[in-house]
Amino acid sequence: MALRLVGIPRHEDPASAVDPLAAISRAAARGDPQAVDTLLLSVTPAMLRAVRGVLGGGHREIEDVLQESAIGLVNALKTFRGESTVLHFGCRIAVLSALAARRRLRESGKEPVDTREDLPLASNECSPVELVLAARRRALLRELCDALPIAQSEALVLHCVLGFTVEEIADAGQVPPNTVRSRLRVAKETLRARINADPTLREALEPKA
Amino acid sequence: MTALACPDSLVARSRAGNLSSLERNQLQLHLQKCEACRVSLLVGRDFDAALAAQSDDTLFVSQVVRALRASPGARVNTSRLPARSRRAARLLMYGVAAALLTCSFVVGAASPLLRRRLALFIGVQAPQSPLAARAASAHGARVALLAAQPRLAAKPPPPAPTIEVAEEHAPPPQHDEPRVTVQSAPAANGRSAEAIFAQANAARRAGDLAVATKLYQELQGRYPRSREAEVSRISVGRLLLEGSQDAKSALEQFDRALRAPNSERAGLAEEALFGRASALMRLGHRDDERSAWQQLIQQYPGSIYADRAHARLAELGAGSQAAVGIFPAQQ
């Protein structure tokens, strides 16, 4: 079961769309230190997940990038107008920070960008081979994010890595939903082409009856 | 298959199990025909499995939040007045300045008696003799003029002075020692502590460890009491242990971090204790190293370093030379 981000986007239920963190974020924007703490403790776990998704679970920069993202969230609160939930807003900041960190590391050429992920233990549901293939697919998506334009990478990560819907991506980034769909189409096509180029990964794409 | 026909939101919601049976059928029909969406769903499920919450996430998150409390960059700036209020304050200031200027001209042109009375009103003692009275009245007028001038200039208050004290080798950390952390003021060349700290962090992230170390040390030399310098001691300690393997200098950094007045609240003490123990291990000071590990376990029994501390204490007890530190020497 995928972890679903909390918060009801306004377009789904305008009458009762309440972001549980809206009041806290307003207090935090006014400088209330307790509200800042509460907000960070509430949102940082999801931001951590976003950073791990982009960098890889064992990456040495996770802590730094997460701190940067959290500081970015606190500083951006004054301009946040509730177009999306605070959680989605924070996750977007974390994704953009992590993508920027990947590009910075790649451009500096001083550190391998993709670190070896710790594979979960094989279980009855997943054989060791499937786990290895899954890790390769994740690595391939991360590499693709370095090559795509930032807007497409952002949409691909928010959708594929974090499970955002088109409307949630549109709300968080303040762009029209059709713009998000176009970005996703191009990004998904490129991802599909890369996976197809690997014969071992291609097998898993066959539709199951 | 056009872009508008791909039900991306259904794909996302299916991962969370939020589809009705009708939506599930709709998605299945689409997936039979659209390889891009099959890829998206497959890779999405790969990430769902890999990004499940880990047992130490809560501790990790609380450490990050604690470190942010001490970070100057995390404070929301609410000190600036709204534009309308700033304009009103400026107009009021100009009005007061103009009124005082007018008054000073009036005083200067007024009779000696009036000037004397005004001088007394302002608070200048008027002498009794006529000669002294004449001198005092002139003096009083000058005082009135001088009193008006600073308001006319209306300069902002000077920045808080930075007290830079050369830090000597200090005694062992005593957390009840009262200390004053002074706000960092820009240096003569305009580089504030915050700016140097940001440059050092950027250099460290870019892998320029020598440059990063130099910048952190510059920060600590110029703004030793600043919050940025306090936070930087852990980073410098690690760089010295990992990069140049200067365990002695690394130990000094961790000891200074432990002496910082807010180290407990900022979450730095735990990191500093671990760093201290690691540095002592490198230096071969087994007795001090043993005390450091014991202090870490005693103060932070739930620490992520507790297991390593216990393992190392067992080795020290058994006389083993195996290294357990989290700061491996770079090849």
- Token code pair at residue A4: 């679903």
Q: Tell me the whole-structure pTM to 2 decimals.
A: 0.54
The band of B225, judged by pLDDT with boundaries at 50, 70 and 90, is: confident
Chain B residue with Cα closest to A157: B44
Would you give the end-to-end CA distance of chain A in angstroms? 22
Structure tokens at B195: 């700016």
Nearest to A191 among B6, B39, B53 (CB): B39
Is residue B223 a contact partner of residue B167, using CB atoms and an 8 Å limit?
no
Other Cβ atoms within 10 Å of B296 Cβ, number: 24
Residue of B14, B34, B51, B80 for testing the chain A interface, max A β-carbons within 10 Å: B51
CB contact under 8 A, B8 and A117: no
Residue B23's pLDDT is: 93
Q: Does the beta carbon of A137 lie under 8 angstroms from any beta carbon of chain B?
A: yes
Query: Coil, strand or helix: which one is A8?
Result: coil
For residue A4, how many C-alpha atoms fall within 13 Å in the half-sphere facing its CB?
16
How buried is B151 (Cβ within 10 angstroms: 0-12 exposed, 13-18 middle, 19+ buried)?
A: middle
CB pairs under 8 A between A and B: 172
Nearest CA-CA distance, residue A52 and chain B, Å = 7
Among the partner residues B48, B57, B64, nearest to A67 by beta-carbon distance: B64
pLDDT in tens, B167-207: 333 344 444 444 434 444 444 456 887 778 877 877 776 66
d(CA A100, CA A89): 17
Contacts of B66 in chain A (CB under 8 A): none
Query: Letter for the amino acid at B218?
Result: E
Name every chain A residue with its beta carbon within 8 A of the beta carbon of B29. none
pLDDT-derived band at B64, boundaries 50, 70, 90: confident
Q: What does the pLDDT look like over A75-134, one tens digit per residue?
A: 999 889 888 999 999 999 999 999 999 999 888 875 555 555 555 554 555 677 888 888
Would you give the DSSP letter of residue A57? T
Give me the half-sphere count of Cα atoms (radius 13 Å) on the Cβ side of residue B318: 9
- Cα B108 off chain centre by: 52
A25: Cβ–Cβ under 8 A, 6 or more apart, which residues? A19, A35, A39, A77, A80, A86
A36 has pLDDT over 80: yes
Amino acid identity for residue B135 in this structure: A
pLDDT, greater one: A108 or A53: A53
Q: pLDDT tens digits for A72-84?
A: 999 999 889 888 9
pLDDT tens digit sequence for B117-170: 655 655 544 444 444 444 444 444 444 434 444 444 444 444 444 333 333 333
Confidence of residue B77 (pLDDT cuts 50, 70, 90): very low
HSE (CB half, 13 Å, CA atoms) of B106?
10
Query: Cβ contacts (< 8 Å) between A31 and chain B: which residues?
Result: 75-78
* Tokens describing residue B129: 């003799």
Closest to A77 measured CA to CA, from A40, A33, A37, A26:
A26
pLDDT at B36: 93
Contact criterion met (CB < 8 Å) for B61 and A67: no
Distance from the B66 Cα atom to the nearest Cα atom in chain A, whole angstroms: 9
Cα separation, B109 vs B115, in Å, equals 9
pLDDT-wise least confident of A86-95, B23-32, B70-79: B70-79
Confidence tier at A172 by pLDDT (50, 70, 90): very high
Cα separations in angstroms, A138 against A50, A52, A106: 13, 11, 18
The beta-carbon neighbor of A44 closest among B17, B65, B69 is B65
Distance separating alpha carbons of residues A154 and A96, to the nearest angstrom: 7
Within 10 A of B16 (CB to CB), how many other CB atoms are there? Answer: 15
DSSP category for residue A158: I
pLDDT digits (tens, 9 = 90+) for B230-287: 778 887 888 888 767 788 888 999 888 888 765 554 556 777 888 899 899 888 899 9
Of A67, A108, A184, which is closest to B68 when you measure between CB atoms? A67
In terms of Cα–Cα distance, which of B209, B243, B327 is closest to A110? B209
Cβ atoms A99, A154 nearer than 8 A? yes
